[in-house]
Amino acid sequence: MSVDAAIARARARPPLASCRRARFGCDLPARASTSRARLGTFHTPHGAVRTPAFMPVGTKGTVKGVFPRDLAAVGSTMILANTYHLHLRPGEALVKELGGLHRFMDWDGPILTDSGGYQVFSLGHIAKIDDDGVTLRSVVDGALVRFTPRGVVDIERALGADVAMAFDQCPADPTHRADVEAACERTRRWLALCVERHKELGGEETGQALFGIVQGGIFADLRRANLEAAVAHDLVGYAVGGVSVGEEREHVRAGIDASAPFLPEHRPRYLMGVGTPEDFFDAIERGIDLFDCVTPTRHARNHNAFTSRGKVNLRNGGWRADASPLDPECDCIACARYSKGVLRHLCTSEEMLGPMLLTLHNLRFFHRLMERIREAIAADRLAELRAEVLPPMSGRRSPAEAGA
């Protein structure tokens, strides 16, 4: 079957939400007329996610520095956990024995588990890839660990997330065609094995969906071919992988352009590992619905905050006596109750409260931006919002500029 025929067949399928027995679905009530931006709702057994949406990352079973109740308070609806790290410690069997990932993370909303494919990429120096899977060293004790497509599905089923990502290979260099071709072929074959195992375990009727991942680097033809193989499985959702791994921004855009427009209309589209305001606008304008990244939490732990007036480094001595809020447009607790001077003191004194407050602020900043983006899509003014908010928030704010 040709790429176009496969895509046409996938687009012709009814939305999952129209199936009486389906536990998953994606409603798309509105679209922008001036871009491919979509406004929708992704339904899961643990609740609905309004899209576009940002998903905080809880690698080892917790979003660092945040109580689960506070995650919900700042606007989080769906969060991530990491299959590789949870397999190493404490192990999926123990997570299952302790009640599953939702109880383990004390989170009642939807959870997505990645497959460990990114760790294969990022830990390439201690990983050996073959056609059947990956052998790599544990970052916990150095022991050899084996990951296979069917084995990863077993791990994710035991963890019990709402969405399990298929095991894929992310090429180390998205511009090296031979390597990308090999990664695409493995991703295609591994996805078939993941789907096979997922169905053997009961499929979506168990309350867990499987998302496929589209690879292809910067090459449009490879992405289209990999996409054809993925959509042929008629999965609940699809991810665009292998972007934002060190390549130029235009290559990221090219990878999205070669993937997102051709994915099924009534399935959520997830861009993996992308997380800056400019990235969001670029991808949402191209039809992406879901995002994840460690950017807001990692920046907070390094005492950096995103604000409507630019990024702020709270270790800068110029903020020492600044009595103004971190961001006057933000409604988070850090901005409502603390000044930049107090936040700087907490950060420079190595008090845990500093990074905790900045984490809450950065997550709220990201979620508020998504709220505004959803409103703009509904009003068909996404381009105007981008022109209004992106320039001031993209720079770095200094005490001199702030008049401190």
- Predicted confidence at residue 21, as pLDDT, reads 30
- Give the number of other Cβ atoms within 10 Å of residue 327's Cβ: 24
The string of pLDDT tens digits covering residues 199-233 is 999 999 999 999 999 999 999 999 999 999 999 99
CA distance 181 to 368: 39
User: Whole-angstrom Cα distance, residue 354 to residue 258?
Assistant: 42
Which has more confidence, 269 or 30?
269
Q: CA 336, CA 264: separation in Å to the nearest integer?
A: 42
Residue 114 designated active-site: yes
End-to-end CA distance of the chain: 64
Residue 197 burial (10 A CB sphere; 0-12, 13-18, 19+): buried
pLDDT score, position 5 = 58
Give the model confidence (pLDDT) of 329-340 as tens digits. Answer: 999 999 999 999
Q: Is 70 an active-site residue?
A: no
pLDDT band at 243 (very low <50, low <70, confident <90, very high): confident
Reported as a single tens digit per residue, the pLDDT across 57-79 is 999 999 999 999 999 999 999 99
> pLDDT confidence of 317, banded at 50, 70, 90?
very high
Output the average pLDDT for the chain: 92
Residues 288 and 173: their CA atoms lie apart, in Å, by 23
171 residue type, one letter: P
pLDDT score of 403: 58
Candidate from 122-131, 191-200, 244-253 with smallest mean pLDDT: 244-253
- Tell me the mean pLDDT in the region 104-119: 95
Instruction: Show the domains of the chain with their CATH numbers.
Output: 24-293 (3.20.20.105), 299-402 (no CATH)
Between 27 and 23, the more confident residue is: 27
Q: State yes or no: pLDDT of 112 exceeds 80.
A: yes
DSSP of 320-338: TT--SBS-TT--SHHHHH-
pLDDT at 282 over 70: yes
Q: Is there a contact between 121 and 172 (Cβ–Cβ < 8 Å)?
A: yes
Average pLDDT estimate for 154-180: 96
Structure tokens at 133: 């899977």
Three-state DSSP at 130 gives strand
Q: Quick one: pLDDT band at residue 7, thresholds 50, 70, 90?
A: very low
The residue annotated as part of the active site, out of 27, 168, 279, 292, is: 292
CB count in 10 Å sphere of residue 39 = 22
Measured CA distances, 373 to 55, 198, 289, 308, 390 (Å) = 15, 34, 11, 14, 12
Helix axis angle for 177-200 and 220-231, nearest 10°, is 10
- CA-closest candidate to residue 174, choices 252, 271, 226, 253: 252
Q: What DSSP string describes 41-107? A: EEEETTEEEEESEEE-B-TTSS-TT--HHHHHHTT---EEEEHHHHHHTT-HHHHHHTT-HHHHHT-
| Predicted pLDDT of residue 205 | 93
Instruction: Report the distance separating Cα 151 and Cα 36, nearest Å.
Output: 37
Q: Work out the average pLDDT over 250-268.
A: 93
27, 70, 114, 168: the active-site residue: 114
Helix, strand, coil abundance in the chain, percent, nearest 5: 45, 20, 35
pLDDT of residue 4: 57
Give the closest residue to 218 by CA, choosing from 190, 254, 185, 194: 254
Look at residue 16 and tell me whether its pLDDT is greater than 50.
no
Q: What DSSP designation does 349 have?
A: T
Confidence of residue 249 (pLDDT cuts 50, 70, 90): confident
Task: Return the pLDDT at 120.
Answer: 87
Residue 132: CB atoms within 10 Å: 14
Position 11 pLDDT exceeds 50: no
Please give the backbone phi and psi of residue 145, each rounded to the nearest 5 degrees, phi first. Answer: -125, 135
Reported as a single tens digit per residue, the pLDDT across 345-401 is: 999 999 999 999 999 999 999 999 999 999 999 999 999 999 999 999 999 998 977
Asked if residue 15 has pLDDT above 50, the reply is no
> What is the pLDDT confidence band of residue 34, given thresholds at 50, 70 and 90?
confident
What is the reported pLDDT for 3? Answer: 47
Q: 14 to each of 31, 162, 225, 266, how far by Cα in Å?
A: 18, 21, 23, 8
Neighbour tally for 23: CB within 10 Å: 18
Q: Which pLDDT belongs to residue 251? A: 86
